[in-house]
């Protein structure tokens, strides 16, 4: 008998960290992870089996298929927006070819155990591309199907992978004699910038918010790489993890779309700085915009319309801006830096 597990790719990243911790605390599922690097020992202890390897390596996926029965996948592995602009071909390989491999893997798992495979995919506000700041200001909270003209390789990859997921869920091999669509139950969240109190991001363009908070808590000066008036949506990491799990558990009949916006608060970089200074009055936070990274953030929406997620599967973030700081970020970060 093969072991029944949930698979998490890119498990060592920020979302993986929160997701593994949360799933292990629930204790209802055995966890299998796949990442290029070994997990932190604290996370490693929480998983049934850890594969070190690439999502581009089909042999690794074959080995997993041979040993494990999987009906739930969180495909988190990705190369983010800033890093992707330095290595666009690698970004395409990881974000598109890697996702295609995982979708095909999910299809094969379904074939082998006969039950649908739920495939959770975090997309991003990077899938949007607003043409200029004036349009961004006018657009306000954007809906899923508006402004789908991303300007980064990462954004293009995310948008295309959303379509790949829709293809596997609804149209896979539509000309074959036997219907093969519907075997992969693809469900996608378009995440805003995520802010974790326990990990520091790298390679993204929304990183300025978590970097600012972590720098202040660690007693380091921080030069923010976007303008003070820059505004994009954010969410506290526990709400991001909760959203993934809630969407995974939602009855298929209640879902009216494959891709859902989710958001929680949409502060300007200046407003984030003010909140940081409230808790760390001596923090040194300056603004030194990097014109090129600024240009990327300027194409992302000031906020997202997540009415569909709220209606279809009951998405409600626990944390607003103030409570994210006072109840989650500041106490958890203080504890983290106190321990050193
Ligand atoms: C990035 O900045 O690339 C990511 C994202 C917004 O998806 N954090």
Pocket probe for ligand 1: among 155, 204, 240, the residue whose CB has the most ligand atoms within 8 Å is: 204
Beta-sheet strand order (sheet of 117-124): 49-52, 31-35, 3-9, 68-75, 117-124, 184-191, 259-261
Q: Residue 201 Cα, ligand 1 centroid: separation in angstroms?
A: 9
Q: Which atom of ligand 1 is nearest to the CA of 80?
A: 3
Please state, rounded to an integer, the average pLDDT across all residues of the chain.
96
Give the mean pLDDT of 113-117.
92
pLDDT of residue 278: 97
What token pair was written down for 309?
């997620």
Q: Is the CB of 209 under 6 A from ligand 1?
A: no
**CA distance linking residue 335 with residue 51, whole number of Å:** 31
Q: Is the CB of 125 under 6 A from ligand 1?
A: yes
Residue 339 has pLDDT above 80, yes or no: no
The alpha carbon of 204 is separated from its chain's Cα centroid by a whole number of angstroms, namely 11
Q: Residue 81 Cα, ligand 1 centroid: separation in angstroms?
A: 6
pLDDT of residue 60: 97
The alpha carbon of 286 is separated from its chain's Cα centroid by a whole number of angstroms, namely 28
Q: Is the CB of 206 under 6 A from ligand 1?
A: yes
- The residue whose CA has the least distance to atom 7 of ligand 1 is 124
**CA distance linking residue 121 with residue 113, whole number of Å:** 22
Q: Which atom of ligand 1 is nearest to the CA of 206?
A: 2
Instruction: Give the length of the chain.
Output: 340
Q: Is the CB of 81 under 6 A from ligand 1?
A: yes
Residue 3 has pLDDT above 90, yes or no: no
Q: Is the CB of 204 under 6 A from ligand 1?
A: yes
Give the mean pLDDT of 324-330.
98
Query: pLDDT category, 182, cuts 50, 70, 90?
Result: confident
- The residue whose CA has the least distance to atom 6 of ligand 1 is 193
pLDDT of residue 338: 79
Q: Is the CB of 154 under 6 A from ligand 1?
A: yes
In the set 154, 168, 208, 319, the catalytic residue is 154
Residue 177 has pLDDT above 90, yes or no: no
In the chain, what are the helix, strand and coil shares in percent, each to the nearest 5? 45, 20, 35
pLDDT of residue 252: 96
Residues 6+ positions from 302 with CB-CB distance below 8 Å: 136, 137, 139, 140, 141, 231, 232, 233, 266
**CA distance linking residue 15 with residue 241, whole number of Å:** 7
Q: Can you give the pTM of this predicted structure?
A: 0.97
Give the mean pLDDT of 143-159.
98
Q: Is the CB of 193 under 6 A from ligand 1?
A: yes
Give the mean pLDDT of 297-323.
98
Of 91, 95, 76, 117, the C-alpha closest to 164 is: 95
Q: Residue 126 Cα, ligand 1 centroid: separation in angstroms?
A: 7
CA of 16: how far to CAs of 19, 22, 158, 246, 276, in Å? Answer: 5, 10, 18, 16, 26
Residues 6+ positions from 43 with CB-CB distance below 8 Å: 11, 12, 16, 17, 20, 21
**CA distance linking residue 312 with residue 95, whole number of Å:** 27
What percentage of the chain has pLDDT greater than the value 90? Answer: 94
- The residue whose CA has the least distance to atom 4 of ligand 1 is 204
Helix (H) or strand (E) holding 74: strand 68-75
pLDDT 10s digits, 23-66: 999 998 999 999 999 999 999 999 999 999 999 999 999 999 99
64, 51 Cβ separation under 8 angstroms: yes
Give the mean pLDDT of 137-152.
98
Q: Residue 20 Cα, ligand 1 centroid: separation in angstroms?
A: 20
Instruction: Tell me whether residue 154 is one of the annotated catalytic residues.
Output: yes
Q: Which architecture does CATH list for 4-192+233-263+302-318?
A: 3-Layer(aba) Sandwich (3.40)
Q: Per-domain residue ranges for the chain?
A: 4-192+233-263+302-318
pLDDT 10s digits, 9-32: 999 999 999 999 999 999 989 999
**CA distance linking residue 96 with residue 90, whole number of Å:** 10
Residue 250 has pLDDT above 90, yes or no: yes
**CA distance linking residue 307 with residue 65, whole number of Å:** 37
pLDDT of residue 340: 64
Q: Residue 47 Cα, ligand 1 centroid: separation in angstroms?
A: 26
pLDDT 10s digits, 185-232: 999 999 999 999 999 999 999 999 999 999 999 999 999 999 999 999
Residue 329 has pLDDT above 90, yes or no: yes
Give the mean pLDDT of 249-268.
98
Query: pLDDT category, 181, cuts 50, 70, 90?
Result: confident
Of 84, 10, 43, the C-alpha closest to 296 is: 84
């Amino acid at each position: 008998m093969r072991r029944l597990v949930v698979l998490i790719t890119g498990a060592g990243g920020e979302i993986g960290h929160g997701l593994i911790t949360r799933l292990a605390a629930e204790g209802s599922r055995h966890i299998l992870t796949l990442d290029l690097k070994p997990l932190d020992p604290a996370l490693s202890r929480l998983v049934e089996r850890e594969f070190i390897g690439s999502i581009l390596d089909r042999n690794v996926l074959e080995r997993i298929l041979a040993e494990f029965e999987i009906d739930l996948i969180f495909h988190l592995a990705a190369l983010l927006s800033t890093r992707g602009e330095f290595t666009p071909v690698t970004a395409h390989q990881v974000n598109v070819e890697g996702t295609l491999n995982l979708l095909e893997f999910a299809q094969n798992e379904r074939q082998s155990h006969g039950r649908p495979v739920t495939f959770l995919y975090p997309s991003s506000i990077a899938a949007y591309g607003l043409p200029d700041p004036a349009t961004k200001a006018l657009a306000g909270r954007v809906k899923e199907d508006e402004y789908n003209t991303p300007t980064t390789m990462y954004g293009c990859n995310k948008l295309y992978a959303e379509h790949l997921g829709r293809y596997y869920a609804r149209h896979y091999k539509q000309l074959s004699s036997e219907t093969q669509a519907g075997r992969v139950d693809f469900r996608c969240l378009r995440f805003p910038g995520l802010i974790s109190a326990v990990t520091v991001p790298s390679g993204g363009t929304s990183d300025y918010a978590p970097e600012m908070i972590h720098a202040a808590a660690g007693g380091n000066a921080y030069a923010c790489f976007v303008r003070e008036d820059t505004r994009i949506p954010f969410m506290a990491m526990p709400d991001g993890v909760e959203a993934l799990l809630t969407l995974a558990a939602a009855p298929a009949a209640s879902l009216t779309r494959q891709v859902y916006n989710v958001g929680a608060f949409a502060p300007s970089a200046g407003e984030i700085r003010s909140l940081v200074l409230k808790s760390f009055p001596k923090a040194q936070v300056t603004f030194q915009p990097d014109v090129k990274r600024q240009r990327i953030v300027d194409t992302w929406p000031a906020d997202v319309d997540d009415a569909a997620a709220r209606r279809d599967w009951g998405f409600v973030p626990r944390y607003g801006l103030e409570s994210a700081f006072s109840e989650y970020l500041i106490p958890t970060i203080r504890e983290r830096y106190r321990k050193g």
